[in-house]
Amino acid sequence: MSIKFSPIAEAKKAELGAQFSAHRLDLDALTGFSAPIMGFDHFRASGPTFAPHPHAGFSAVSYLFEDSTGGLRNRDSLGHDLVIEPGAMVWTQAAHGVVHDEHPAVNGEEVHGLQLFVNLSRSHKNLPPRVIHASADQVPTVVTGQGARVRILTGCFNEIEGPIAPVEPFTFLDVTLSASFTYSVPNGQNVLIYVLSGALTLSAFSEQRSLTAHQAIAARSLSQPEDVHLVPDQDAHVLILSGFDPQEPVAVYGPFIMNDQAGLQAAYSRYVEGKMGKLPPL
């Protein structure tokens, strides 16, 4: 057996005012198997919540589920001002640093989505910032012979590439299951499986786990690609996220993820000196 599972983690619901709530996943409960993922919020928002703010050292990912009522307006200090529609994604590879904000495109229309923070390795933390947008119609959809519907946002599935290509390999699949489904965990990568709705049984070799809505599990392929089998109890909506752990020291301060205190101080100085650009409040 060359795959190892984490314990099951629960995404606990938190509210920030009347216009924002999120099921926030406790990544520490996944015992290090979630890296490079550093933040995971399955959110619903109906009005402005966050003022313009900086990011550096990682990628901030915003994905809207197809059932979202409204779109999400995304602005940044690089000059982008766009609306993420249901089924679309914006991958903000903040790296050296960028200022951005997001809020519902139409106040009062509920936005249903996921915000993900994906760490960058030391060699990429100071790249120029880059924003990658994929509209819903650019996202390929595959229906397997077993009836699973797979939207490929990043990475590759069934030899089909997603429209977003981050600087470091990462797979993001949005999967609707009505029957069994198999995902092959790439050699050396961690995979995080999160159940949005429904329930399923996950197995590999003799290992078996049961998950319900707002629960997640992570696994690591130790020496070769390994298959993980997902069998829904009825229908299930699942996210499959897979990437490499940089296996480097991590230092976090607010919106900055670096390797040490010196890196955090440098990022903070760039921000206060205006080197990440400016973004005026609306």
Q: pLDDT, tens digit, for every residue of 83-107? A: 999 999 999 999 999 999 999 999 9
Region of poorest pLDDT, from 86-90, 102-106, 179-183, 185-189: 185-189
146-150: average pLDDT: 92
pLDDT, one tens digit per residue, over 35-89 is 999 999 999 999 988 889 999 999 999 999 999 999 999 999 999 999 999 999 9
- What is the reported pTM? 0.96
Q: Does the pLDDT value for residue 187 go beyond 90? A: no
Average pLDDT over residues 171-179: 96
Q: What pLDDT score was predicted for residue 245?
A: 94
What's the count of helices (H) and strands (E) in the chain, helices before strands?
1, 26
**What would the two tokens of residue 8 be?**
């099951």
Torsion from C-alpha of 253, 255, 259, 261, nearest 10 degrees: -30
pLDDT value at position 1? Answer: 56
Residue 178 has pLDDT above 60, yes or no: yes
pLDDT tens by residue, 12-32: 999 988 899 999 999 999 998
Q: Check the annotation: does 102 bind a ligand.
A: yes
For residue 112, say whether it is annotated as part of any ligand binding site.
Answer: no
Q: Is 87 left (phi over 0), alpha (psi -120 to 50) or beta?
A: left
Rounded-to-10 torsion of CA 182, 186, 192, 196: -30
Q: Is 109 annotated as a binding residue?
A: no
pLDDT for 220 beyond 90: no
Residue 132 has pLDDT above 90, yes or no: yes
Q: What domains does the chain contain, in order, with CATH numbers? A: 3-272 (2.60.120.10)
pLDDT of residue 16: 87
- According to DSSP, the residues that pair with 92 across neighbouring strands are 60, 131
How much is the mean pLDDT over the chain? 95
Beta strand pairing status for 58-64 and 72-76?
unpaired
